[in-house]
Structure formats: structure tokens, C-alpha cells
């Protein structure tokens, strides 16, 4: 109940791990909503630029970032021990493909290890990194429960796929519907509440696997449509038709 109150009155201390094209815009939206936000990234140059109010992400003008930093609502660090003082943590680290075309899980595992070191009762952890269905429950959850804390009671764990479309002027972090699914119903509700403070539309689903499958479907749908249009474009080019 204490975490719910902190989220609703926006006194919760929010953390975002990974300050790339997903993490920095999310951190900015939480800060604009009134939360005090700490961004965490291993890249010292990114941390320095954030703390200087200098944006390196096209969707976030420095004119937006600067005042949030100046007011103390947003700061960045390379020190993961700050997690111990946070109430919520969103993980936005990359999951690139290896040469063998399977996902590189090393960033997710490393972030989970750092959170596991500093996790405490009353914390909400949300993963946003693109991954295969089952990752949150099968990979992340066992690492976080090594502390002896019980999910759904002592801490809350969700998956919410990032759906950012970089460069899209109409749809950005604040107005792209946010899907969130938790390990338990309590987890889902805490995740929904957090996002609802900063995102226009939040769509709760029944489990982390459902939320993970949403992302897999969306990426597959987009890939198939792009592939289809490219094939049609080549056919049109062959017969002199403007696609």
C-alpha cells in the first residue's frame, strides 16, 4: 500500500536503467509527470550529457531535457548502487542479435544482477527490453527472488514492451499505448499505476508472457508488412508501375 501511495502522489523515486532511445524519453516523461528520476547507464559520456541538459536523442530536445535537470527532477549516474534508494526501476537495455541470430541476453542478465544486489521490500521492477516470451519469469524472476523476497508481496515484477518509433512526430513515448503484464495481478496493477501517471493509455494484460508475446507479434507483423511492400515495389519497378 505504501508504494501505491508513493506512485499516486508522485513521491516515488523512479529509476531508468539504459539511457538510449527508449530509456531517456521514458525518464523524461516520468520527470515531466512530477517524479524525481535517476537514469543509470554505463556510458559515462551519456551520463555527463544528461547531467548537462544536453540531449543526444532526436525525440528529446535539449530545451525539454535541460529544465528537468536544472530543477532536480532528472539526473544520471553510472553507479548502480543508487538502486537501493529507488522505489521503481525500469530496465531499457538493448537485446541485439548475435551472429547466430539468437538474442544477446547479456545486458538483461547484467542489469538483473545489479538489481538483485540492491533490491528491497516495496520495489517495483519493470523490464522493457525486447526479448522472447518467458524471459521475465524464467530468467529475471529467479535472480530477484534469491534475496528471499516474495514476488507479488514483497516486491513487484512486470514486463512492458518498448514500442517507441524513433523520429515519429505524431506518436512518441507519452501517447503510444503502453502494454504491461505482471507476474501476479498485484504486480500488474502496480505497473499500470506507475505508467498511468505519465502515459496517456495503459493496457494491462494477464501475465508477463502475454506482454512479451505482444511485442513478438508486433515486430513480426511489422517485418512481414515491410517485406511484402518491398517485394511489391520490386515487381512494380520491373513493369514500370509507380508503387
Closest CA to 198 of 38, 4, 30, 3: 30
Residue 101's pLDDT is: 81
Dist. CA 76–CA 88, nearest whole Å: 15
Are 124 and 3 in contact by the 8 Å Cβ rule? The answer is yes
Closest CA to 155 of 167, 138, 143: 143
Structure letter (DSSP) for residue 97: B
Per-block average pLDDT, block size 10, for the chain (243 residues)? 93 97 97 98 97 96 97 97 97 90 89 96 96 95 95 97 90 95 98 98 98 95 96 97 95
Domains along the chain with CATH numbers: 2-239 (3.40.50.720)
Residue 204 three-state SS:
strand
CB burial readout 107-117, b (16+ within 10 A) else e: bbeebbebbbe
Amino acid at each position: 500500500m505504501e508504494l501505491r501511495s508513493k506512485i499516486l502522489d508522485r513521491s516515488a523515486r523512479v529509476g531508468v536503467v539504459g539511457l538510449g532511445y527508449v530509456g531517456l524519453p521514458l525518464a523524461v516523461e516520468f520527470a515531466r509527470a512530477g517524479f524525481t528520476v535517476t537514469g543509470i547507464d554505463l556510458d559515462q559520456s551519456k551520463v555527463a550529457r544528461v547531467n548537462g541538459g544536453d540531449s543526444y536523442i532526436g525525440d528529446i530536445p535539449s530545451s525539454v531535457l535541460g529544465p528537468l535537470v536544472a530543477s532536480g527532477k532528472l539526473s544520471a549516474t553510472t553507479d548502480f548502487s543508487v538502486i537501493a534508494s529507488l522505489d521503481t526501476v525500469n530496465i531499457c537495455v538493448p537485446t541485439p542479435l548475435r551472429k547466430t541470430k539468437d538474442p544477446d541476453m547479456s545486458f538483461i542478465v547484467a542489469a538483473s544482477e545489479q538489481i538483485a544486489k540492491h533490491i528491497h521490500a516495496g520495489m517495483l521492477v519493470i523490464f522493457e527490453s525486447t526479448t522472447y516470451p518467458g524471459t521475465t519469469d524464467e530468467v529475471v524472476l529467479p535472480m530477484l527472488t534469491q534475496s528471499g523476497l516474495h514476488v507479488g508481496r514483497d516486491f513487484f515484477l512486470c514486463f512492458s514492451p518498448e514500442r517507441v518509433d524513433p523520429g515519429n512526430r505524431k506518436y512518441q513515448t507519452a501517447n503510444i499505448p503502453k502494454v504491461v503484464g505482471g507476474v501476479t495481478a498485484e504486480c500488474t496493477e502496480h505497473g499500470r499505476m506507475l505508467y498511468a501517471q505519465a502515459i496517456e493509455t495503459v493496457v494491462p494484460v494477464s501475465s508477463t508472457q502475454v506482454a512479451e508475446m505482444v511485442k513478438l507479434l508486433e515486430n513480426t507483423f511489422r517485418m512481414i508488412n515491410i517485406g511484402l511492400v518491398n517485394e511489391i515495389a520490386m515487381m512494380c519497378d520491373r513493369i514500370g508501375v509507380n508503387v
